[in-house]
């Protein structure tokens, strides 16, 4: 196995503790409060299909030995409170930390269920080496399923055999802020590049999260590292088409990882 071939602690992150670490899943579906209280969001929709993503994440990271903690329909304040509570915890006996956020969003932010903005850079900053010493030299991973603007990413027209009905596709969209973590050992997996929408099928879940979970389930047992897996996710999602709006989606992983990151099953 590749895990045995690359076991040098100088080049591969340790991933042996059980549980490996916490995996937080923030799943925001109900935006009725946001529609009422935030004028610019008066037409924002509930995120139908998001429970499929939350379940896929739970099953996937449970099988990879993470302790799953799920949160549903949290306000911006609640999200910050939860993150601060995990910042203060002692992660000394764990090897990793994962946070997944499923919500609407805009440039550099995600929305709480109340429509208030949560800066992505602020969320990651809770877990820098200075702010969370027990996670120093350990990977801190964030997967963000949310639009980062309202533009459609255009693609070159190609022939396809897809029979996808795009009338059922929805978008996780509604401050420009820098959201790339600049501290070591972070991985930020964004569903889409800046300024653009991301897609969610109410009957199947989002393009990004479903592809991410499927590839983790299939490729972690083969000994593939996380960046190789995310490259495959990029390939799969970028090949999907929103025919109605001639739109495409390009996920964007950004990282300051200094070693290879594997999720062994044993």
Catalytic residue IDs: 104, 147
Q: What is the DSSP letter of 44?
A: P
Q: What is the token pair recorded at 225?
A: 């590292």
For 13, 25, 56, 69, the CA distances from 83, given in Å and listed in that order, are: 23, 11, 22, 12
The H or E element spanning position 234 is helix 226-238
143: Cβ contacts below 8 Å, ≥ 6 apart? 57, 98, 99, 100, 101, 189, 209, 212
* Exposed / middle / buried, residue 138 (Cβ in 10 Å: 0-12, 13-18, 19+): buried
Cα–Cα distance for residue pair 19/50, rounded to 1 Å? 25
Contact 127, 221 (CB under 8 A): no
Dmax over CA atoms of the chain, in Å, equals: 56
Q: Where are the beta strands (DSSP E) in the chain?
A: 21-27, 67-72, 96-102, 105-106, 109-111, 117-119, 140-145, 153-154, 170-171, 186-190, 199-201, 205-206, 247-248, 252-255
């Amino acid at each position: 196995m590749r895990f045995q071939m690359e076991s040098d602690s100088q080049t591969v992150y340790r991933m042996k503790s059980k549980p490996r670490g916490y995996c937080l899943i923030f799943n925001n579906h109900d935006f009725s409060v946001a529609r009422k209280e935030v004028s610019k969001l008066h037409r924002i929709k509930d995120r139908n299909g998001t429970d499929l993503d939350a379940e896929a994440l739970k099953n996937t990271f449970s099988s990879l030995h993470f302790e799953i903690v799920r949160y549903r329909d949290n306000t911006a304040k609640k999200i910050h409170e939860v993150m601060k509570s995990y910042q203060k915890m002692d992660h000394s006996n764990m090897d990793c930390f994962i946070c997944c956020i499923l919500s609407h969003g805009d440039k550099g932010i995600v929305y709480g269920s109340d429509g208030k903005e949560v800066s992505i850079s602020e969320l990651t900053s809770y877990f820098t080496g200075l702010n969370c010493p027990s996670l120093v030299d350990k990977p801190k991973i964030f997967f963000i399923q949310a639009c980062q603007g309202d533009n459609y990413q255009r693609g070159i027209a190609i022939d396809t055999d897809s029979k996808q009905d795009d009338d059922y596709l929805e978008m996780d969209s509604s401050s420009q802020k820098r959201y790339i973590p600049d501290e070591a050992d972070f991985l930020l997996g964004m569903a889409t590049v800046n300024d653009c929408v991301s897609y969610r099928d109410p009957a199947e879940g989002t393009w990004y999260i479903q592809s991410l979970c499927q590839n983790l389930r299939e490729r972690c047992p083969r000994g593939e590292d996380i960046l190789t897996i995310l490259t495959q996710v990029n390939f799969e999602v970028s090949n999907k088409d929103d025919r109605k709006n001639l739109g495409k989606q390009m996920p964007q992983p950004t990282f300051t990882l200094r070693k290879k990151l594997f999720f062994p099953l044993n």
